[in-house]
Amino acid sequence: MKQAGWSEAEIARRNEAEGFDGELEYVNSPGVGPGLEFKLKFLSDRIREAISKTGETSHEKVEIAIDPKAGVSASLTNVIMTDQGILSVSSFLFRWCGLVARAYTRTLYADIAHWTSKMSDPATDRECLLKCPDLVLYWFRIFVSFSGTGTHVLVPFRPSSPTEFHLFEQVAWSMEYFTVAHEFGHHVLEHRSTSADPMMQEFQADAFAAKVCEQFELEPFPLLPNPYTRTGAGASLMLLALEILRAFEEPVSDGKARVDTHPSPSDRIAKISTRNLMQPKQLEMDQEFNGTVIRIMSAVAGVMSDARRKGGGELVATIRQRLDDAEIGLRNSGSRLSDETSA
Ligand SMILES: [Zn+2]
């Protein structure tokens, strides 16, 4: 953190703030990290408050939990024969949001005049990104690490600098709020019937989440409006980053295997960014922020797709193979051990 430009006093203050995990009365996911559960509860409580303002109370029937598994996922499981649901997120979801938010903030700040200019084309966007090999490598490591291991283990820790800090936090929170609010949306909108159109349900949950997130304009900093929660740009960033990750995870289908049940990210973003059609000023702001996210992430997607073809895909396959081998090895030595003890 010192290298990133923080003073001793600032580092001490940050450590103190981050050390506060909160005391939880009920722990649903023992062993996966008390900080994670506290974070999910904090986000969920704020979302519940926002939902309650509309007079809706069905969110009270939702339990939250951290799923003790790798990868990036969030899901709502309906408890059959009841009106209850369990909302869970994977243990590394928040890490993922944090890293993507950092990489995004750094890319934007590397040339903010370029990324927010009206005149642009994909070729110059790509050139702009390639001017920062450090950043390209950072993005690459994020996707390789999460597709190869489901965790952030292969990404070096590069804390945000004092200049990046506020935007980085705003972007990360907006991604997290959207993801959790989307799952609450499935519950509140009673998406239980299997005969319903799953695509339509995704759009509805997105619209619900975008509306909820609008209420978090002053989060996480009460004096600093957050355009990423306000405009839905945090949602767009989450969806586009996940699309690149899926392509790393499923190289054969280029990440398109999920398209059957989920609308494409671009269709979802088109709906999110045009939802305020009747408020021209807001619509303009929504399109500006979502537009910047789309430009940056399109450039990232293009460069990552090349990197995948030029050996990145093979690298991920090797990492996965080694992990599988190690797991089999562990299991075998485990069963040998128990054989020995029973003998
Ligand atoms: Zn959904």
* pLDDT at 16 (0 to 100): 81
Longest dimension (CA), the chain: 77
Among the listed residues 328, 327, 307, the one whose alpha carbon sits nearest the alpha carbon of residue 251:
307
* pLDDT at 341 (0 to 100): 58
Distance from the alpha carbon of residue 68 to the mean position of ligand 1, in angstroms: 20
Distance from the alpha carbon of residue 228 to the mean position of ligand 1, in angstroms: 20
* pLDDT at 33 (0 to 100): 72
Distance from the alpha carbon of residue 240 to the mean position of ligand 1, in angstroms: 15
Distance from the alpha carbon of residue 322 to the mean position of ligand 1, in angstroms: 32
Distance from the alpha carbon of residue 144 to the mean position of ligand 1, in angstroms: 25
* pLDDT at 120 (0 to 100): 83
Among the listed residues 229, 223, 195, the one whose alpha carbon sits nearest the alpha carbon of residue 210:
229
* pLDDT at 202 (0 to 100): 95
* pLDDT at 184 (0 to 100): 97
Beta-carbon contacts of residue 154 (< 8 Å; ≥ 6 apart): 141, 144, 145, 148, 319
Query: What element of type H or E holds 65?
Result: strand 62-67
Distance from the alpha carbon of residue 233 to the mean position of ligand 1, in angstroms: 17
What is the three-class DSSP state of 59? helix
Per the CB < 8 A criterion, the answer to whether 189 and 197 are in contact is: no
The residue extents of the domains of the chain are: 8-90, 93-325
- What is the C-alpha separation between 187 and 247, in angstroms, rounded? 29
Side-chain-side CA neighbours of residue 264 (13 Å): 6
Question: What protein residues have CB closer than 5 angstroms to ion ligand 1?
Answer: 202, 205
Please list the rounded mean pLDDT of every run of 10 residues in the chain (343 residues): 92 78 68 82 96 93 93 92 92 97 98 92 96 97 97 94 96 98 96 84 96 96 97 98 95 68 92 96 97 98 97 95 92 72 56
